[in-house]
Amino acid sequence: MDKLALFKGKPILKESLKFYNSIGKKEEIAVARVIKGWPLSGFVGVAGEYFLGGKYVKELEKLFKKYFKVKYAVSFNSASTALQGAVAALGIGPGDEVITSPYTMSATASAILFNNALPVFADIEENSFCLNPKSIEKNITNKTKAILVVNLFGNSANYDLISGIAKKYKLKIIEDNAQSPGGTYKGKLTGTIGDIGVFSFNFHKVIQCGEGGMLITNNKKYALRAQLVRNHGEVVIDDLYFDKKIYEPILGNNYRLTEILAAIAIEQFKKLDKLNKQRIDLANYLTKKLYQFDWLVPSKIFENSKHVYYIYPFRFLAKKIGIKRATFVKAIKAEGFSLSVGYQKPLYLIPAYQKKEIYPHSHFPFISKEYPHKVSYRKGICPVVERMYEKELLTTTICQPPTTKKTLDLFMKAIKKIEENVESLKEYERKN
Ligand SMILES: *Cc1c(COP(=O)(O)O)cnc(C)c1O
């Protein structure tokens, strides 16, 4: 690229962008307070007061209940384990299918496999990057038990239609809301629309404590089952009082959040609205400017809804500009900015699904007596996801503080420069 006359000059962005970091003094003080106060974990795996965790874990859960106006909040040590707990909470197991998006972090679908149920992948909408209701409906079989919806990039899925389908076919909805804390769909907070919502406090997320997660629900039984999954629940089942005193078959593990991490997450959660607002302001500014290019398409947002821009996604239409996505990205990089292409590989294309193999000696659960008919993970099952991955999707973290609107102006300048010099980029493509 540097051989191109166009990019011989200095890049438009001269200094490298600083990383997003929302950890500050308040978190530092909180950590010191916990260390002095002891214990560092409040959990004990026996029935009683400490089965549900310590002081800070309970405080964090209380804040979630209040903010999201839900009856129950159950913290986990990650969103991955919380998702696993969510699937288990619904009683889903071998022989069951859960419809989900292949355009997500692998943990979304693994949560289904960890319960020995099968993920069935439906396609997405090209403008929201979330599940397409029509594709969900097409994939329903008599084994389908739930839809695991992913609110991708900070957006929300099309819940009016998805909830309608769930009702019609008597399916449960789990929301993977790891990327959209504080986002809304038609006025409702995402994570509260389905039967269970899951959040992440992983280092890369909007609010974080290193690693951590949360599950919220209004259903007492789901909350209890999630609590059992989190803390070796099988051992306490004899001592617990259920609604009808019936035995709940379940297997638990150690998915507990520590007190220090909970204390950091509390401080982070208090900042959520402020942190979201900073991103939304930057993203709205960028979106407005991007409209001048008919070959770049920002994400669709449903009316009266809030996208919280965990990352900023937009589509690249190669036919309209006449150059490849890869060339555009090279040219943007030459101007000092970075862009990611394609997001994750569609999950069904990774070896575990292609080979239907997660154990060295067995194809369970993919090929088993529980699944006499075959679930397909063939290339081509989700054409929109594949098109986004291979050709159209671009993502940027530029809409995160400490970026300012000035940097976004420079970003626009770089895109304009590329558009004005598209002929020399075509020339570059011919030669390379
Ligand atoms: C990050 C993420 C997860 C997993 O979160 P962890 O807390 O890292 O386990 C799950 N789903 C989505 C969509 C994510 O972005």
pLDDT tier, 30 (very low <50, low <70, confident <90, very high otherwise): very high
Model confidence pLDDT, tens digit, residues 97-147 = 999 999 999 999 999 999 999 999 999 999 999 999 999 999 999 999 999
- Residue among 396, 385, 384, 388 nearest 309 (CA): 396
Q: What's the maximum distance between 2 C-alpha atoms anywhere in the chain? A: 77
Radius of gyration of the chain (CA): 23
CA atoms within 13 A on the CB side of 370: 15
Phi-psi label, residue 53: left if phi above 0, alpha if psi -120 to 50, beta otherwise: left
pLDDT tier, 225 (very low <50, low <70, confident <90, very high otherwise): very high
Mutating to test ligand 1, I would choose from 76, 105, 179 the residue with most ligand atoms within 8 A of its C-beta, which is 105
Domain end marker among 251, 271, 291: 271
User: Are 154 and 136 in a shared domain?
Assistant: yes
160 secondary structure, DSSP code = H
Range of the domain at 216: 25-271
User: Are 308 and 259 in a shared domain?
Assistant: no
For residue 1, pLDDT over 50 is answered with no
For residue 6, pLDDT over 60 is answered with no
Average pLDDT, the chain: 94
pLDDT tier, 243 (very low <50, low <70, confident <90, very high otherwise): low
Q: Which residue has the tokens 């029509």?
A: 134
User: Are 277 and 231 in a shared domain?
Assistant: no
H/E segment holding residue 39 = none
Q: Distance between CA atoms of 42 and 26, rounded to whole angstroms?
A: 22
pLDDT computed for residue 117 by the predictor: 97
Ligand 1: atom nearest CA of 107 is 10
How do strand 188-189 and strand 296-298 relate by DSSP bridges? unpaired
| Number of compact structural domains in the chain | 2
CATH code of the domain containing 333: 3.90.1150.10
pLDDT, mean of residues 84-107: 98
User: Are 278 and 254 in a shared domain?
Assistant: no
Residue 48 CA, ligand 1 centroid: distance in Å: 31
Domain end marker among 271, 299, 324: 271
**Residue 241 domain-assigned?**
yes
Domain end marker among 218, 253, 271: 271
User: Are 68 and 88 in a shared domain?
Assistant: yes
- Residue among 321, 293, 294 nearest 411 (CA): 293
214 secondary structure, DSSP code = E
**Residue 367 domain-assigned?**
no
User: Are 86 and 235 in a shared domain?
Assistant: yes
**Residue 324 domain-assigned?**
yes
Which residue type is seen at 165?
I
Q: Distance between CA atoms of 333 and 283, rounded to whole angstroms?
A: 20
Q: Which of 5-9, 44-48, 77-81, 139-143 has the lowest mean pLDDT?
A: 5-9
What does each C-alpha distance from 390 to 195, 318, 346, 385, 386 come to in angstroms? 33, 12, 10, 9, 6
Pocket of ligand 1 (CB under 6 A): 78-80, 104-105, 107-108, 150, 176, 178-179, 200, 202, 213
- Write out the two tokens for 179: 């990327």
Model confidence pLDDT, tens digit, residues 199-215 = 999 999 999 999 999 99
For ligand 1, atom 2: residue with the closest CA:
178
Ligand 1: atom nearest CA of 152 is 13
Ligand 1: atom nearest CA of 104 is 13
